[in-house]
Amino acid sequence: MSDIEIAQQANMLPVFDLAQKKLGIQADDLDSYGRFKAKVSLQVLQQRAQKPDGKLILVTAISPTPAGEGKTTTTIGLSDGLNRIGKKAIVCIREPSMGPCFGMKGGAAGGGHAQVVPMEDINLHFTGDFHAIASAHNLLAAMIDNHIHHGNALQLDTRKVTWQRVMDMNDRALREVTVGLGGPANGFSRTDHFDIVVASEVMAIFCLSGSLSELKQRLGEILIGYSFDGTPRFARELQAHGAMAALLKEALKPNLVQTLENNLAFVHGGPFANIAHGCNSVIATRMALKLGDYVVTEAGFGADLGAEKFINIKCRKAGLKPDMAVVVATVRALKYHGGMALDQLGMLDTHALQRGLENLKRHVNNLQQAFKLPCVVAINHFDQDQDDEIAQVEQAVLEMGAKVVLARHWAEGGKGAETLAQAVVDTLENHAHATCQFLYPDDQPLWEKIQTVAKKLYGAEQVIADSKVMKKLKKFAEKYDHLPVCMAKTPYSFGSDPTMRGVPQPHQLAVRDVRLSHGAGFVVVLCGDIMTMPGLPKNPAAERIDIDDRGVIQGLF
């Protein structure tokens, strides 16, 4: 059965009732969006300010193959597993981006028997958060061009407007555009770009803000461009942040849905994991920690990007501390990292597997040594996996000093993740106090922060950047040396070249550009090409998506 078929057969319960019964949220603090989606009032956080937090479990992964290794699936399966062994666990994941549903990727709400539902709604529009983020983003863009049109009091240089436009669609034709054509009534023409909504800085800000007032303040701090004399200009100078925050009023309330096994899940916010930090909202995570004893969350891509930013950006800014990590690995991806071709991963090759295990080892070492985070490795089971292969992975992980568990949640749901759940509980009980630490202190200079991440985590021998980049970085350092760095590189390798599998050695990291996300509060470090507006493939999924007279959707897989 396809994911959508499994999802459509789910026995969903009204989320309004589940939230009251399982989490003790009062009816007044819940806004239903249909029967199976709800938003939770931020009051819930204030009411429970004194309550101790639950345990925070980060699900991360080895360097993935293009198909992904099942991080979201494992996050959901683990939470279902924890609930099955009697623990009060809550999922905290990102909202999927709608655009890619019409391309190649299909939905992004888990898979197999480890999904959050209603799957179609979560993938299409959901509760409208991304539309609200797009509106806030594009309102600022309209106000910028309007300001220039009506006299340009801020003397904005149209060549140096850094704020682009966004749309939640895979639309390559919008990557580079000229706006303001057609004569004086349509403003001044200039080059512009559209990003997909998840790449918007408003998305990153939304996910890093702990309250409506922090959100508004950060929106005001957005850098929109530079005036003719080089002065940086900000959204607050256009008085845009009040209206932008008003547009985000409802969106900021975390969304509550359920897993296929009727356990609760927050699905809220979804920034890119390259030019942004790739984690669900701080507000959802904080709320889940007040409502559950165990919170299972994930971060985008492999641990080199996802876990690093989760800790160094999200946790640093929000004052959170993860208690442990689950590292998802698949036999297939390990063999891929050992050098096998994508279309041969079903075949047996113990040497390739052994070589590929080096990738897992570096991630586990990074988490355990660089971040002091206890680890359990979850082998996400695929039908083709051979017992010998699994034994080989288990043996290798034990030698790394970490626990390892085979997880069958994709095929079996929470039942298939009970062993993993038990391993997680055992690990947490052996580590009563979280010892997780940041990789670098705030006061380390920006350039050194980049070097620290590249050398300690990626194993790079050297970081290089041309003089133009270094000059820009020096300029940022004058005022923003205290900010964390947000590394934007390929997820497929520890290096910046996606074809360097396993553990590339020796390698150097080339920084091609740096950008300031002033409102979000980090410096983006671009290593390699980062696509912020995807395109559709020759035969897009949109052609197969359909709906019948009863409203049943098909083709959204």
Within residues 20-59, the interface with its own copies by CB under 8 A covers 31-35, 39
545 binds its own copies (CB under 8 A): yes
69 is in an annotated binding site: yes
Q: Select from 12, 13, 85, 179 the one that contacts its own copies (CB under 8 A).
A: 179
DSSP 373-385: --EEEEEE--TT-
CA distances from 470 to 169, 242, 328 (A): 34, 35, 36
- Under rule CB under 8 A, residue 95 binds its own copies: no
Scanning 64-72, 161-169, 402-410, 494-502 for contacts with its own copies by CB under 8 A, the matching segment is: 161-169
CA dist 332 and 340 (Å) reads 9
CB of 217 to its own copies, least distance (A): 11
Find, among 322, 325, 308, the residue nearest to 375 by Cα.
Answer: 325
Binding to its own copies (CB under 8 A): which residues in 327-386? none
Task: Say whether residue 11 binds its own copies (CB under 8 A).
Answer: no
71 is catalytic: yes
Separation of alpha carbons 265 and 89, rounded Å = 9
3 binds its own copies (CB under 8 A): no
Please list, in sequence order, all residues whose beta carbon lies within 8 angstroms of the beta carbon of residue 109, skipping any fewer than 6 positions away. 7, 72, 96, 115, 116, 117, 119, 122, 123, 267
Q: Let me know if 163 is a catalytic residue.
A: no
Whether 338 has a binding-site annotation, put simply, is no
On whether 162 is known to bind a ligand per the annotation, the reply is no
Angle between helices 212-220 and 201-208 (to 10 degrees): 150
Per CB under 8 A, contacts with its own copies among 242-271 are 242-243, 245-247, 249-250
Minimum CB separation from its own copies for residue 473, in Å?
A: 26
Contacts with its own copies in 98-137 (CB under 8 A)?
Answer: 98, 102, 120-121, 124-125, 128, 131-132, 135
Among 232, 445, 498, 540, binds its own copies (CB under 8 A): 540
Give bridge partners of residue 524 from the DSSP assignment.
486, 515
Peptide bond into 232 cis (omega under 30): no
Tokens 């910028």: give the residue: 144
Which of 94, 286, 316, 317 is catalytic? The answer is 94
Catalytic residue chosen out of the listed positions 36, 37, 38, 73: 73
Q: Which pair of tokens denotes residue 105?
A: 């990727």
Residue 5 binds to its own copies (criterion: CB under 8 A): no
Q: Within positions 203 to 222, which residues make up the interface with its own copies, using CB under 8 A?
A: 211-213, 216
**Pair 367, 303: CB distance under 8 Å:** yes
- For the chain, state the CA radius of gyration: 23
**CA pair distance 208, 310, nearest whole angstrom:** 11
The strand pairing partners of 487, in sequence order, are 525
186 counts as binding its own copies under rule CB under 8 A:
yes
435 a catalytic residue: no
Pure H helices in 201-240: 201-208, 212-220
Nearest approach, Cβ of residue 314 and its own copies (Å): 23
Beta bridge partners of 161: 225
d(C-alpha 295, C-alpha 277), whole Å: 19
User: Binding residue for its own copies (CB under 8 A) from 82, 117, 174, 486?
Assistant: 174
For residue 38, indicate whether it is catalytic.
no
Q: Is 72 annotated as a binding residue?
A: yes
By beta-carbon proximity to its own copies, the closer residue of 194 and 410 is 194
Told to check if 546 binds its own copies by CB under 8 A, we report yes
Residues 408-467 within binding reach of its own copies (CB under 8 A): none
For 287-312, the DSSP string reads HHHHH-SEEEEEBSSSTTTHHHHIII
Q: Which is nearer to its own copies, 64 or 187 (CB)?
A: 187
Cβ within 8 Å of residue 363, ≥6 positions away: 60, 61, 62, 63, 302, 303, 304, 327
Near its own copies by CB under 8 A, which window of 76-84, 139-147, 262-270, 333-341? 139-147
Please say if 36 is a catalytic residue: no
Catalytic residue among 19, 89, 109, 273: 273
Of residues 55, 71, 290, 512, which has the active-site annotation?
A: 71
Q: What is the nearest approach in angstroms of its own copies to the Cβ of residue 7?
A: 14
The upper half-sphere exposure of residue 537, i.e. CA atoms within 13 Å in the direction of its Cβ, equals 13
Strands 522-526 and 485-488: parallel
- State which residue, 238 or 483, has the beta carbon closest to its own copies: 238
> Nearest distance from residue 287's CB to its own copies, in Å?
16
Nearer to its own copies, 120 or 389 (CB): 120
Cα-based distances in Å from 403 to 85, 299, 436, 465? 19, 20, 18, 39
What is the rounded CA–CA span in Å between residue 311 and residue 436?
Answer: 8
Indicate whether 145 belongs to the interface with its own copies (CB under 8 A). yes
Q: Which is nearer to its own copies, 353 or 541 (CB)?
A: 541
What is the C-alpha to C-alpha distance for residues 276 and 257, in angstroms, rounded to an integer? 25
Q: Does 105 participate in catalysis according to the annotation?
A: yes
Active site residue 382: yes
Q: Let me know if 73 is a catalytic residue.
A: yes
Rounded Cα gap, residues 270 and 97, in angstroms = 7
Is the CB of 464 or the CB of 547 nearer to its own copies? 547
Show the tokens assigned to 436. 């997780």
Task: State the catalytic residues.
Answer: 71, 73, 94, 105, 273, 301, 382, 410
Binding residues: 65-72
Binding residues for ATP: 65-72
